[in-house]
Chain A
């Protein structure tokens, strides 16, 4: 393995992604956690660029670090935002052992799975007109799954509105 610019960039991005994930789990304030998550999202977008998936990277930034994290921040700020993690409950010795075993097994499975993985020869022209290629594939081969996804999203959307409306009605009923 040679140390190329791509390798350095990959290491840096992967490191930021992992550190963001670890901080997300370890920080105590909820708002800090979301900010850590934003860093993870951004570095994942960077990894997409390294894989010459520009369109996907930009959409990742637009949707995940733009829209979703802002909605999360809004949700947290408007609800019980001063919540802090209590001291983690004491973990028994056996539980720790099993945890370690689990992590080792997870690492081993992924090492074996990834190390010799061969996707076959990848097409070289992926980075050219990325968005156009995705559009062609999506609207020629995968139209039905794509449309089904949009229906699913619509259902989720309507469901969210119905759920939040119900809360309001109940509150009004309580007032009366």
Chain B
């Protein structure tokens, strides 16, 4: 359905349909974020021998995040006197907007996708880079040393880990011969999931992705015990919620991207299971990737800043480059693809 719309001639009606679909999708993502936060708290709770939220909305705490969001909305919106006012106001918007833009290119099933881009993978990586500017602007505009330190750390981390992320994605682009995410999934139908062919790329991509998401063990940018809260120290109420929202929407996007790149997107693992619709497979794989992200958060200690940079430049980047070389050899010598 969406594919037909994408290829039909543009007009006002199409615009309206896409606008409504995007709006619906925004609310779907907001719903996901609400329950992703609850799930994270629950999983963390169980892993640490606690119960987690269990008061609001039945014994599973189903309304806990809704209440948190309501609290955030009615909170006083503070702008410090010495802050750089226009930049302080625009920074959360610049940080959030790209996070929603990137999900447009992700194919959820063979029929449900918002933009069929030829440069899909590169589009994702390029657009997600804009968020860094929002982060840096927020850090700068707050006029606070903790904010600035956190923002600097966040930016350095994002810029360094973007390189291994792109480089490890290149192995997949080499095997597929296309950057279109649809083609990448289609190619996995013939050859098997890319996690089998690109295990090194998967490990590098996963680590770099976690660094891009600022998740433990890479959450130095908001290390509470040294930097109060990092770049959003001075933010409160809805503006702060925008930063948190951007972070979780990126988690949604990154988990979807990993599902598409390495786990075959909507494809079933075995042929005889193909009676189950693609959306269910996508959801299951997506849930597993998200769960691993939570799991890592509960089990790993935070890294030191100097270790962080060394790890990106001296370990991940050479490994990713070696993987490209290896993939090219594999493709040329074995002729499987």
- Residues on A lying within 8 angstroms of B by beta carbon are 5, 29, 31-32, 35, 38, 42, 54-55, 58-59, 61-62, 65-67, 69-70, 73-74, 77, 128-132
- Which residues of the other chain, B, contact A32 by a CB distance below 8 angstroms? 86-87
Identity of the chain B residue whose Cβ is nearest the Cβ of A61 in the assembled complex? B126
Identity of the chain B residue whose Cβ is nearest the Cβ of A29 in the assembled complex? B84
Indicate if the CB atoms of A70 and B140 lie closer than 8 Å. Answer: no
Q: Name A58's contact: one of B15, B84, B119, B148 (CB within 8 Å).
A: B119
Identity of the chain A residue whose Cβ is nearest the Cβ of B139 in the assembled complex? A77
Query: Does chain A have a CB within 8 A of B56?
Result: no
Identity of the chain B residue whose Cβ is nearest the Cβ of A128 in the assembled complex? B118
Indicate if the CB atoms of B10 and A130 lie closer than 8 Å. Answer: no
- Residues on B lying within 8 angstroms of A by beta carbon are 10, 15, 84, 86-87, 90, 117-119, 122-123, 125-127, 129-130, 132-133, 136-137, 140, 148, 152, 155, 159, 162, 178-179
Known: A54-B119, A73-B133. A131 touches B126 (CB 8 A): no
How far apart sit A42 and B94, CA to CA, in the bound complex (Å)? 12
How far apart sit A38 and B152, CA to CA, in the bound complex (Å)? 18
- Which residues of the other chain, B, contact A54 by a CB distance below 8 angstroms? 117-119, 123
Known: A5-B10, A59-B126, A131-B118. A77 touches B140 (CB 8 A): yes
**How far is the CB of B89 from the nearest CB of chain A, in Å?**
12
Q: Assuming A5-B15, A55-B118, A55-B119, what are 8 further A-B pairs, CB within 8 angstroms? A: A38-B133, A55-B122, A58-B119, A61-B129, A65-B133, A67-B129, A70-B159, A77-B140
Identity of the chain A residue whose Cβ is nearest the Cβ of B177 in the assembled complex? A132
Indicate if the CB atoms of A74 and B155 lie closer than 8 Å. Answer: yes
Indicate if the CB atoms of B132 and A35 lie closer than 8 Å. Answer: no
How far apart sit A137 and B16, CA to CA, in the bound complex (Å)? 39
Q: Name B127's contact: one of A35, A38, A61, A131 (CB within 8 Å).
A: A61
- Which residues of the other chain, A, contact B117 by a CB distance below 8 angstroms? 54
Indicate if the CB atoms of A58 and B122 lie closer than 8 Å. Answer: yes
How far apart sit A50 and B127, CA to CA, in the bound complex (Å)? 17
Known: A5-B10, A129-B118. A31 touches B125 (CB 8 A): no
Supply 6 A–B pairs (Cβ within 8 Å), ascending by A: A59-B122, A61-B126, A66-B132, A67-B129, A73-B140, A132-B178
Q: Which 3 A-B pairs have the closest CB atoms?
A: A66-B129, A62-B126, A61-B126
- Which residues of the other chain, B, contact A70 by a CB distance below 8 angstroms? 132-133, 136, 155, 159
Indicate if the CB atoms of B118 and A66 lie closer than 8 Å. Answer: no
How far apart sit A62 and B98, CA to CA, in the bound complex (Å)? 13
Indicate if the CB atoms of A31 and B130 lie closer than 8 Å. Answer: no
Known: A35-B137, A70-B159. A65 touches B129 (CB 8 A): yes
Indicate if the CB atoms of B119 and A130 lie closer than 8 Å. Answer: yes
Known: A31-B87, A54-B117. A65 touches B148 (CB 8 A): no
Q: Name B130's contact: one of A5, A61, A73, A130 (CB within 8 Å).
A: A61
- Which residues of the other chain, A, contact B178 by a CB distance below 8 angstroms? 129, 132
